[in-house]
Amino acid sequence: MVIDHPIFLESIRFIRSHLEANDLNYLEKKVLERLVHASGDFTVQNLVNFSEGACEKGIQALKNGAPILTDTDMAAAAIKSMAENTTRNKVFSARMWFGKNNQKNLTKTAYGLTEGWKELSAINSGSKSPIIVIGSSPTALTYLIDILENAKDLPSLIIGMPVGFVGVEKSKKKLISTDLPRIVLNSTRGGAAMAAAAVNALLRETI
């Protein structure tokens, strides 16, 4: 059960009253509110990009018990509490698979995330296919998309919000160019807190 602090509720009311008019649906607005809250910045409302039905697909997967796979421990930690208080989905970090990396051409995170995806998707397919959350590593996002091009199973949702300058915008544009269900924060903006906020917004809507 989620019990919100009065200050949080007041912040959300403030955000809601100051957002620009938009054509987002109810769930997309909930995600946007959390992103603004996490960043303290209203300009993110012009950066968020949703594929059609992304939020609905994400919520259904969460209700079905889909695992959540993140690129960092920080993002995982930010999601675990909300998951435990809602649908109790298991949350994993790419770090769990770092030790198996024998591919010197890949970063540890890119390797760990894709190996984690392969392992988790093998036992959680279809309506329980994992939700992927990337808030730091554009390399992991790019490599994952490459892996998925010929994959039979696909993620229920990808939160693509890596932060930084090298390869970040390119990785996001690559994700947007696919048919994969996604929530993307365009530009160089992003981070673990932002990516986790998007997932937590969906978790809230499962109760």
- Catalytic residue positions, numbered: 37
* Nearest residue to 169 via CA among 177, 179, 180, 158: 177
Residues forming beta bridges with residue 69, ordered by sequence position: 92, 132
Residue at token pair 């303290």 = 40
Angle separating helix axes 192-204 and 26-39, nearest 10 degrees: 140
* Residues in Cβ contact with 161 at an 8 Å cutoff, skipping those fewer than 6 apart: 134, 135, 183, 184, 185, 189, 190, 191, 194, 195, 198
How distant is the alpha carbon of residue 82 from its chain centre? Answer: 14
User: 182-185 and 48-50: which strand pairing?
Assistant: antiparallel
